[in-house]
Structure 1
Amino acid sequence: MTSAPPRPDAVRAALSAAPQAAPAYPRPDLDRSHRWTSLDGVWELDVPGGAAPSTVPITVPFAWETVASGVGRTWLEHATYRRRIAVPAEWAGARTVLCFGAVHHHAVVRVDGAVLAEHVGGSTPFEVDLDGVLAPGAEGVLEVEVHAPADKRAIPHGKQRSIPRDDYDGVSFTPTSGIWQPVWLEARGRTYAARVTVRGESLTGFDVTVDVAGDAPAGALVTVEVAARAGSDPGAGPGAGRAAGTTTGAAESIELVADGTGTASGRVEIAEPRLWSPAGPHLYVLTVTTVSAAGGEPDRVAVTGGLRRIERRGEHLYLNDERIYLRGVLDQGYWPESGLTAPDVGTLVADLEHARDLGYNLVRKHIKLEDPRWLHHADRTGMLVWAEPPAPSRFGTEAAQAFEAQIAPMVERDGNHPSIVVWGLYNEEWGLDWDIPGSPDRADAALRAYETLHALDNTRPIVENSGWAHVRTDLVDWHYYDEDPAAWAANVAALAAGTRDDFPVRLAPDFLAKKSLYGSADHPRSGLPILNSEYGAGFTSLERAWHLRWQTQELRRHDRFAGYVYTELTDVEHEMAGLLDVDRRPKDRGGLDPRDVNAETVLVVDLVPVHAGADLAVPEADLVLGVHVSHHGPGVVRGQVRAAWVPAGTPFGEGGVGEPLGTGSETVEAKPFELSPAVTVTVPPPGPVTAARLHLWLVDDGGAVRARTFVDAAPIEEPNRRGLRWDG
C-alpha cells in the first residue's frame, strides 16, 4: 500500500522540529562572517506528480537524489524549494544579499511570488540583491524553482549520469540536482566590494582589483590593508585566522579611488614578504574597506591571499623560482549518502588530509568546482590543487557556449587561491565527442576555451583538454591505463623519449582507440612540461597497490616528466579504483605504504615484475639488482642502498629489517631531479621458503633512511586456461 504524501502542515512541523547544525561560513576566503545568517536546513519541496503533486521536507544543501536530502529521488527534473526568511533587524542601513553556492541547473528565485533572479549553470555561484525587497526586521517567503533535465548531454554536468546516457556512462554516477551548495544571507555596505581580485605573483606584494557595486560606486574610496593571517600554518584548524577575528604582524595598506566604472586597482607592497609554498603555506588577509564618496557606513570584507608564483620554464615547472615535481592524486569529491556535497565541513576538508597522509602534494579535483571551504583549507595547509570545471558530454554550439560560460565565474570565485597551480578545462574530449583530431570545430572549441581562460588569468598553466589531443596547452598531460607492467614501462619510456606520442585507450568494451598527445601534426612535440595526469591498474586492492608501486617507479625513472596524478583517492559508487574506500577507510595494500611510493626521494629498481605478489620467482642463487635513486628535493643525497629478506608480506617497521644481507651497495649520489646511475645490490637467496619479501632502503651519510621499497618473491605459474573455450 502506498502512503499518502505528507500534507503541508506536516511538512512545516518537520521543519520546526529538525535539528540545525552549527553552520560554517561558506566563503572564508571572502569573509563577511561578521554579519551573515545560514539558510541551510530543512525547506519545503514541491514535487510534481501528475494528479498527485506533493510537498515534502528536504534538507539543504543536499541534492534531491541523495539520502542526506531526505528525498532520495533520481530523475526528478523539476521541483520548487520554499522556506520563510527574515532579515535581521540589526542590519538596518545595510544592503542584504541572498547568496547561492550552486544550484543545478536552472534556478528561478522568487520572494513573496515576485521573480528576482534567474540563473543557469549548475556549478557556479550567484547572488540576489534583496534591497527594496525585504527590509531589516521583515520576513518573506523565498522560493527557488529548479529545472534539472535528465538529458544532461548539452549542459556542463561532469560525471552525473544522464538520460540518454553519456558516452562515458560506465564511469558516471548518481546525478546531483537542485540546491547542492550552501545558501545564506549576508549584510554589506550600501556601497560595497562586489569582486576582489588578488594576485601575489610578484612575490613582493599583492596586485588588487576591486569592483565596486551598490550606491554610487564611481568615486568610492577603497582601502586595502594587509596583515599576516594567524593560524596559516598547516596545524591550524578550519576557521582559524580572520574568521576568529585575529591577524598578526604590522599591517600595510593603500588607498584607492574607484573610476567611473566602479573599478579600483593598485598594488600593496610587503616590506618583508613571506612566500606561500607547500612547505610554508603563509597567508595574508587583505581587509578591503569601501565607502561611497558621499559617506555612509563602510563595507568590509576580508580576502585571503598568498605570495607565490607558478610558471613553466621550458619542460619544467617552477614554484617561487624553485623547480617542483607534482605528486598528485585525482579526487572526484563524492560521498556515499550526500553525493557531490560533503556531509559537513570537517568531512570535506578531511579528504585533503587523507591525500597528504598518502604522500601527495597535489590534488586534481576532477571536473568539479569544489566547495570554497575545501580550497581555503588547501591554502591553509599547503596542498597544491589542479582545478577544473564540469563539462557537457556531446558537442554542439549550445554545449560549447554553456561550457565557456563557466570559465569567468570559476576564475572570479577561485582565482585568489594560491593553492591552485593548474587550471584544467575539457577532459579527454568529453563534450567534444572524442574527436578533436577529426573535427576543426571541436578543436576550435578547445582552443577558444583556452583563450578565454588565458585572457582572464595567465598566472597559472592551463590544460585545455586533459589527457589527449592537445590543441593549445601550457602542460602536455596524458592519461594512460595498462595492466601489463612490461608494456607500461616500455610505453612510458617511449613517451619520455619522444619516440612515440600515442597509446591505446579502451573507450568501451568493444572500442579500442589509438589516442595521441597532440590534436594535429602542427603541435610542437617538445618545449612544454609533460606529465601523466591519470594512471592506475588492477582489479583487487592488492593488485592496485602493486601497480601503484611499479607504475609510479617507472614515471620517476624519467627525468623529463614534471609529475603525475594517480587515479584515485577514494572509491565512488561502482568505481573501485580508490586508495581508500568510499567511506574513507584504507584498503589492504599488502604491506605497501603509499608514502614510500610518493616520497620526495624514492628507489627505482631495474626489474620488470611479473604479477602482484610475485615480482619474481624465489631466487635459488644470489640475486643481483640494479637500483637508482630519484630525488626531487633540495641538495644532493648520498648514501648506500641496503637489503634484507623478511617474511612475505612484512611491511617496513614490523619485526625490524635486521642486518643487511650480503653486501650493501656502493655509495650512490643523487642530484635533484636527476635519476642517479644504478648501483648494484647483491643478496643471497632467502633459503627454503615458499615466498619472501626483499626490503630495500636508502641510508644517507648521516644514517637517516631516505627511501624504501620492496620486491616480492613467490612461485610463478602460467595462468590456468583449462576448460571449454568460446571461439565464436
Structure 2
Amino acid sequence: MPRNRTHLCLLLSSILFQCSLACAQSPTLQTRWAKDVHATAIPLPEYPRPQLVRNVWLNLNGPWQYAIAPMSQQTPPASYAGNILVPYPVESQLSGVTKTVGKDQVLWYKRTFSLPASYKNKNLLLHFGAADWQADVFVNGQLAGTHKGGYDPFSFNITSLLKKSGSQEIVVRIWDPTDDGPQPRGKQVKKPSGIWYTPVTGIWQTVWIEPVAPAYIASLKPTPDIDKQSLQLSVNAPSLQPGDVIKVTALDGTQQVAEQTINNGTATTLNIPQPKLWSPEHPFLYNLQVAIVRKGKVIDEVKSYFAMRKISMAPDEKGIQRMLLNNKFVFQFGPLDQGWWPDGLYTAPTDAALLYDLTQTKAMGFNMIRKHVKVEPARWYRYADSLGILVWQDMPSGDLGNHWENRPGVLGRATDQKRDDISENIYRTEWKAIMDALHPFSCIVVWVPFNEAWGQFKTEEITKWTMQQDPSRLVNSASGGNFYPVGHIIDLHSYPDPAMPRPDLFGKQQALVLGEFGGLGLPLPGHTWQQKDNWGYQSFKNADDLFEVYKRFCERLKTLIPEGLSAAVYTQTTDVEMEVNGLMTYDREVTKVPAEKLKAIQEPLTKE
C-alpha cells in the first residue's frame, strides 16, 4: 500500500477518534431470520458437518443454563443466572443474555440430556463446532477435556463418563480474554469502535453428540489432481483392527466412477477418468462414500463429496505471474466478507441466513469471497462449494503489536513482530487446526496467514510452513501487510480507488492482487447499528451516486487486468456495526445497488 497508506492511516485515526465511544450492542437491529430462531425447538437444526455425514446424531442446541463468575472459580457454580440459547454468543441478542464477560471472568454453561436407547453399546462423541476461546468440558462431573481455539471444531469421546441410564449432564467453562490476550480473535475488542467490533465469547457453533463404532472414520482429506485425473484420499480412522479394510467409492450422482479397497494403511489414489472440472460457472461435485469393513460387515460408513479442480500460478506471455484455475487464467473478483450479524454476531440466525449472503454474492456477479479474519461453520463452505464461489481464507488475527512501515522503494516492508513462545504456539496450533478442518472444501483456493501487519511475525518462516501444510493451494503471506519475497502472492490494499503492485518490481516472482479497495459508504436510516458516527472510506447520500463511482472502479479494474492484475477484493459484503460500506445493509434488508446492476458490470470481468 505505497501511495495510499499514509492517507489511510490518517483516515483511520480520525475514524477511531470520532467513534471512540464504546458502542454497545444495538438493542433493536435484527435480521428477518431472527423471528425464525424461536419458531423451532432446536435452533440451527441442520446437520453441522457436511463433509462427513452420518444419519444418526443428537443436536444439543437450545436452552442451556449460564452463569458469569470470577475467573478464579474452577468449579461449577452452585446456581445459574438463567437460560442462554446455544449456539449464540453470550453478547448477542439471540442468546437472550446480551452481556459481556472479559478476561477477569468465565462463562459457565450447563444442560442435561437423555440418550436414545439405540445409542447403547456405541462410542459417544461430543462435538463442538466452535467455542471462543478456552473450553473446559465436564460430563457428569468429570473432565472430558480442554480445548484452546476459537475457530476450529473439536470433540471428546465421552463414553466412559456416561451413566448407564437416566439424565446426563454437560458443564462447560469458557474463558476468553478478547483483545487482552495473544490468541486469534479477528475484529473483536472489549471496547468496539471504528473497524473493531463487539466481543464474541463462548459457544458459537452447533453442539452435538454422535454414536460411532469403536473403529470409526474421524476425518477425510481429499486432494484432487486434475493433471493426473486422480484424487488422493487420506482417511483418519482410529482403532482399526487387523484385517479391517476401508472401501472407498466415488460417484457421479449415483453412477460409480471409481472404487478402491485399502487393505493396509489409510490412504489411496482414485483414478477419475475424464473428470468434470469444478469452477464458478460449473461447480460440479462428485459424491464419495467411505466405509470400514470387517469380515464382510460394514462397521462404519460416511457420505462425503469432492471436486476436481486445480489452483496454481504460471507466467503469462509477458512473464507476469498469473493465478490459474484449472490451468487457465480466470480473474478472481469478490467482496471482503466478515460474516458478522447484528443479532447473532459471529453466528448466523439460521441456516437460510448463512446461505443468503452467498447467494447474493453470486447474484451480484462475483466469483470469489475473501473470508476476512474469521472462520465460518462448515455448512458455509459446503454452500460455497455448491454455488461455485472461490474462497480466500484468512487466519483470524491476534496479538496485534506491530504496524505498517513505509520505506523508500520498498512496498510496506518492516521488521516482524517478536511474539513470545506462548503466542507463537497458539498461532501455529490454531492455524494448523483451521487448515486441517477446512482442507476438504474445494472452494478454498488461497490461505492468508496475515492481514495488514496485524500480529505479523516470522513472515517467511510462517509462509513456508503454511505452504508445506498444504501444497495444493496458493498462499498469500500478508494481505496488505508488511511484504517479504515469499509465498505465491503480493497483495496491495488501496482505498478507495483501485491500484495494483508494480508488475516490473514484483510480477515476475508473485501474482499481483488488490486485496482490498473501495469501502464506499452509504448509511440507510432504520438499517444501521447506531444512529450517528457511521462511516465509510468515501461517503455518499444516495445509491445512484455510489454506483457511478463503483462503476468507475470496475472500469479501472478492466484496465489493470491486462497489466497483470490477477484478483481484486471489494470492501465489503455487508455493513458491519459502525461501518456502512457494505453492498448490503447489516440487517440484509437492503441491497444498496440492485444485484442485477452489479452483475452487468462485474460478470464480464470474471468470465471463464
TM norm. shorter chain > 0.5:
yes
Query: Does 1:223 find its partner at 2:247?
Result: yes
Contact 1:87 1:134 in 2 (8 A): no
Residue in 2 that maps onto 1:574? 578
Judge which range, 447-456 or 331-340, deviates more: 447-456
- Pick one of 67, 71, 89 that aligns with 1:63: 89
Residue in 1 that maps onto 2:46? 24
In 2, Cα distance between equivalents of 1:96 and 1:88: 12
How far apart are 1:58 and its partner, in Å?
0.3
In 2, Cα distance between equivalents of 1:118 and 1:582: 35
Query: Does 1:422 find its partner at 2:422?
Result: no
Contact 1:181 1:371 in 2 (8 A): yes
Query: Does 1:82 find its partner at 2:129?
Result: no
Query: Does 1:108 find its partner at 2:136?
Result: yes
Residue in 2 that maps onto 1:302? 303
Query: Does 1:381 find its partner at 2:407?
Result: no
In 2, Cα distance between equivalents of 1:468 and 1:570: 23
- Pick one of 253, 263, 275 that aligns with 1:257: 263
- Pick one of 595, 598, 615 that aligns with 2:602: 598
How far apart are 1:136 and its partner, in Å?
7.2
Query: Does 1:545 find its partner at 2:558?
Result: no
User: For residues 23-43 of structure 1, what are the alpha-carbon distances to aligned partners after superposition, in whole Å with 9 as ceiling and x for unaligned?
Assistant: 1000112212x1101000010
> Which aligned pairs between 1:608-627 and structure 2 lie closer than 5 A?
none
In 2, Cα distance between equivalents of 1:596 and 1:371: 31
In 2, Cα distance between equivalents of 1:550 and 1:562: 19
Residue in 2 that maps onto 1:675? none
Q: Percent identity?
A: 27
Change (3 A) 1:90 1:454: same
- Pick one of 494, 511, 536 that aligns with 1:529: 511
Amino acid at match of 1:419: C
In 1, Cα distance between equivalents of 2:59 and 2:595: 45
How far apart are 1:385 and its partner, in Å?
0.9
User: For residues 397-446 of structure 1, what are the alpha-carbon distances to aligned partners after superposition, in whole Å with 9 as ceiling and x for unaligned?
Assistant: 232322221222112211111111111111011113xxxxxxxxx3x2x2
In 2, Cα distance between equivalents of 1:41 and 1:594: 39
How far apart are 1:88 and its partner, in Å?
2.0
Residue in 2 that maps onto 1:201? 225
Judge which range, 265-274 or 363-372, deviates more: 265-274
- Pick one of 69, 74, 80 that aligns with 1:48: 69
What residue ranges of structure 1 are gaps of 5+ in the alignment?
A: 1-15, 230-247, 433-441, 483-487, 500-523, 602-631, 635-728
How far apart are 1:139 and its partner, in Å?
3.3
Change (3 A) 1:557 1:525: closer
How far apart are 1:590 and its partner, in Å?
9.9
In 2, Cα distance between equivalents of 1:218 and 1:452: 35
Contact 2:363 2:599 in 1 (8 A): yes
Change (3 A) 1:154 1:600: same
Contact 2:67 2:107 in 1 (8 A): yes
In 1, Cα distance between equivalents of 2:595 and 2:359: 21
What residue ranges of structure 2 are gaps of 5+ in the alignment?
A: 1-37, 316-320, 402-416, 521-537
How far apart are 1:598 and its partner, in Å?
1.1
Amino acid at match of 1:23: P
Aligned residue for 1:453, secondary structure, equals helix
Contact 1:192 1:291 in 2 (8 A): no
Residue in 2 that maps onto 1:476? 490
In 2, Cα distance between equivalents of 1:109 and 1:423: 31
In 1, Cα distance between equivalents of 2:565 and 2:207: 43
Query: Does 1:348 find its partner at 2:354?
Result: yes
Contact 1:89 1:136 in 2 (8 A): no
Amino acid at match of 1:316: R
Residue in 2 that maps onto 1:457? 470
> Which aligned pairs between 1:672-691 and structure 2 lie closer than 5 A?
none
How far apart are 1:54 and its partner, in Å?
4.2
Amino acid at match of 1:30: L
Aligned residue for 1:600, secondary structure, equals helix
Query: Does 1:403 find its partner at 2:385?
Result: no
Residue in 1 that maps onto 2:23? none
How far apart are 1:389 and its partner, in Å?
2.2
Contact 2:68 2:101 in 1 (8 A): no
Judge which range, 275-284 or 329-338, deviates more: 275-284
How far apart are 1:86 and its partner, in Å?
2.5
Change (3 A) 1:121 1:591: closer
How far apart are 1:138 and its partner, in Å?
5.0
Contact 1:254 1:268 in 2 (8 A): yes
Change (3 A) 1:592 1:221: closer
- Pick one of 131, 137, 152 that aligns with 2:159: 131
Contact 1:218 1:258 in 2 (8 A): no
Residue in 1 that maps onto 2:58? 37
Amino acid at match of 1:381: L
Contact 1:93 1:190 in 2 (8 A): no
In 1, Cα distance between equivalents of 2:461 and 2:489: 17
Amino acid at match of 2:86: V
Q: Which has the larger radius of gyration?
A: 1
Aligned residue for 2:233, secondary structure, equals strand
TM-score by length of 2: 0.80
Change (3 A) 1:598 1:62: same
Amino acid at match of 1:455: Q
How far apart are 1:269 and its partner, in Å?
1.1
In 2, Cα distance between equivalents of 1:299 and 1:154: 40
Contact 1:197 1:415 in 2 (8 A): yes
Contact 1:496 1:561 in 2 (8 A): no
Amino acid at match of 2:59: S
In 2, Cα distance between equivalents of 1:17 and 1:45: 22
In 2, Cα distance between equivalents of 1:22 and 1:554: 42
- Pick one of 138, 160, 172 that aligns with 2:196: 172
In 2, Cα distance between equivalents of 1:185 and 1:268: 32
Query: Does 1:143 find its partner at 2:180?
Result: no
Residue in 1 that maps onto 2:148? 120
Over the aligned positions, Cα root-mean-square deviation in angstroms equals 2.6
In 2, Cα distance between equivalents of 1:218 and 1:552: 60
How far apart are 1:48 and its partner, in Å?
2.3
Residue in 1 that maps onto 2:268? 266
In 2, Cα distance between equivalents of 1:497 and 1:417: 32
In 1, Cα distance between equivalents of 2:69 and 2:119: 37
Contact 2:43 2:350 in 1 (8 A): no
Query: Does 1:338 find its partner at 2:344?
Result: yes
Aligned residue for 2:603, secondary structure, equals coil
In 2, Cα distance between equivalents of 1:18 and 1:457: 40
In 1, Cα distance between equivalents of 2:120 and 2:492: 55
How far apart are 1:322 and its partner, in Å?
1.9
Change (3 A) 1:17 1:68: closer
Aligned residue for 2:345, secondary structure, equals coil
Aligned residue for 2:375, secondary structure, equals coil
How far apart are 1:305 and its partner, in Å?
0.6
How far apart are 1:251 and its partner, in Å?
4.8
How far apart are 1:81 and its partner, in Å?
0.5
In 1, Cα distance between equivalents of 2:163 and 2:249: 31
How far apart are 1:221 and its partner, in Å?
1.2
Aligned residue for 1:289, secondary structure, equals strand
Change (3 A) 1:281 1:80: same
Aligned residue for 1:200, secondary structure, equals strand
